[in-house]
Amino acid sequence: MVPELLTKSEHALPGYIPPHKRDQRRADSYQRTLETRQKEKAALEAQLETNRLKRAEFWKQNGYRWLLRLDGYDTWKEKRAAYKALAEERAQLVEKIRQKTIDLHRSPEDKDGDGLVDTDQYPDKIGQKRAKPAWIALVDPANCSGCSGHEVKPGEWVTPCQSVCPVDCISHLTPEQVKMHGYDRSVHAFVPPVQIRFDECIGCDKCAQACARDAWNAVTMVKTEKFEEVFEIKIGTKYPGRASNDIDFSKLDQLTDEEFCSLYTTV
């Protein structure tokens, strides 16, 4: 009899959720988190307006005479403390509103606020992709500068998107590919654009977050079915996978305005 231990198939990471079960939860969580952040920002703005009215009332009642200490030191000290408290409250509210504004553009899955999606539930080994993700990363080579990052060995760099990819599916174009596609050699001769091997991509959104924060916003997450429809390909799970360099980007020029917008805005 085969031991039960050999018949059980469990992911190495605790709490792992398969992509096909995770996508709807992510969408619902995103909407709830976004609504919560909007309400928090609106509440802070209301507090800031209340603070503005209090400061206006303070000046209306006291004018500028108290600044000259003509009313005696004790009175001046009391009024100064009152206004200082209002000024400090205003500074704190402005900083909180600034942070909430940033949060509205931050992924709800970024729990620690470092600008990156936390992906502990994703596979931790290259080639572990198990299902087709609902979202796929699409890099625009015309906007990608290649990011010199830091050179790890002659002719090889690590970019923001590469450094955060949990499955290592991002690489630079080879000099032959740069020449074949006719990219501007003055821009891309030494640091070529990156390409994403979409068959290996797990749709974690880390590269798009990193590119938007540290680079040129050249990576966009698009719905997988729209990606397959526009570029007429089928995304698989094989390893090593095909790269975005194999995509015919000229197909984008054949889309109508509505089709082009739907590719990048469909949720």
Please enumerate in sequence order all residues whose Cβ is within 8 A of that of 148, keeping only pairs 6 or more positions apart, or say none: 157, 191
Number of domains in the chain: 2
Do 42 and 160 lie in one domain? The reply is: no
CATH code of residue 215:
3.30.70.20
Do 177 and 83 lie in one domain? The reply is: no
Neighbours of 85 (CB within 10 A): 11
Do 155 and 202 lie in one domain? The reply is: yes
Query: Where among 104, 119, 147 does a domain terminate?
Result: 104
The whole-number pLDDT of residue 10 equals: 41
> By C-alpha distance, which of 221, 164, 214, 172 is closest to 193?
172
Do 90 and 142 lie in one domain? The reply is: no
The whole-number pLDDT of residue 156 equals: 55
112-116, 135-139, 228-232: least confidently modelled range? 112-116
Query: Where among 65, 81, 104 does a domain terminate?
Result: 104
Whether the predicted pLDDT of 13 surpasses 50: no
The whole-number pLDDT of residue 53 equals: 92
Q: Is residue 3 part of a domain?
A: no
What is the DSSP-derived secondary structure letter of residue 242? Answer: P
Using alpha carbons only, what angle is made at residue 5 by residues 4 and 7, rounded to the nearest 5 degrees?
Answer: 65
Do 164 and 82 lie in one domain? The reply is: no
Whether the predicted pLDDT of 35 surpasses 70: yes
The whole-number pLDDT of residue 24 equals: 60
Q: Is residue 251 part of a domain?
A: yes
Do 141 and 251 lie in one domain? The reply is: yes
Confidence of residue 71 (pLDDT cuts 50, 70, 90): low
Whether the predicted pLDDT of 113 surpasses 60: no
Q: What percent of the chain has pLDDT over 90?
A: 3
Instruction: Please compute the mean of the pLDDT values over residues 144-150 and round it to a whole number.
Output: 66
For strands 219-223 and 135-139, give the pairing: antiparallel
Instruction: Please compute the mean of the pLDDT values over residues 143-166 and round it to a whole number.
Output: 67
Instruction: Please compute the mean of the pLDDT values over residues 145-150 and round it to a whole number.
Output: 64
Higher pLDDT, 172 or 245: 172
Do 99 and 191 lie in one domain? The reply is: no
Residue numbers of the domain that contains 183: 135-265
Q: Is residue 12 part of a domain?
A: no
Do 98 and 152 lie in one domain? The reply is: no
**Look-up of token digits 């290649």:** 146
Q: Is residue 129 part of a domain?
A: no
Higher pLDDT, 189 or 264: 264
CB-facing half-sphere around the CA of 180: CA atoms within 13 A:
7
> By C-alpha distance, which of 247, 219, 200, 223 is closest to 135?
223
Question: Is omega for the bond preceding 240 within 30 degrees of 0, making it cis?
Answer: yes
For strands 170-172 and 219-223, give the pairing: unpaired
Q: Is residue 6 part of a domain?
A: no
Neighbours of 196 (CB within 10 A): 24
Do 155 and 252 lie in one domain? The reply is: yes
Cα separation, 155 vs 148, in Å, equals 10
Under a CB-based contact definition with an 8 Å cutoff, are residues 161 and 194 in contact?
yes
Instruction: Please compute the mean of the pLDDT values over residues 61-71 and round it to a whole number.
Output: 73
Do 157 and 47 lie in one domain? The reply is: no
Under a CB-based contact definition with an 8 Å cutoff, are residues 244 and 139 in contact?
yes
Higher pLDDT, 56 or 248: 56
Do 59 and 178 lie in one domain? The reply is: no
Question: What is the per-residue pLDDT across 245-257, written as a single tens digit (0 to 9) for each?
Answer: 567 777 777 777 7
Q: Is residue 189 part of a domain?
A: yes
Neighbours of 182 (CB within 10 A): 7
The answer to whether the Cα torsion of 94, 97, 103, 105 is positive or negative is negative
Please report, for residues 36, 49, 57, 108, 170, the alpha-carbon distance to residue 43 in angstroms, rounded to integers and kept in the order given.
11, 10, 21, 19, 41
What is the DSSP-derived secondary structure letter of residue 173? Answer: P
Question: What is the per-residue pLDDT across 80-92, written as a single tens digit (0 to 9) for each?
Answer: 888 889 988 988 8
Do 29 and 72 lie in one domain? The reply is: yes
Whether the predicted pLDDT of 137 surpasses 70: yes
Question: What is the per-residue pLDDT across 208-267, written as a single tens digit (0 to 9) for each?
Answer: 888 877 667 788 888 888 888 888 888 776 666 676 656 777 777 777 777 777 776 655
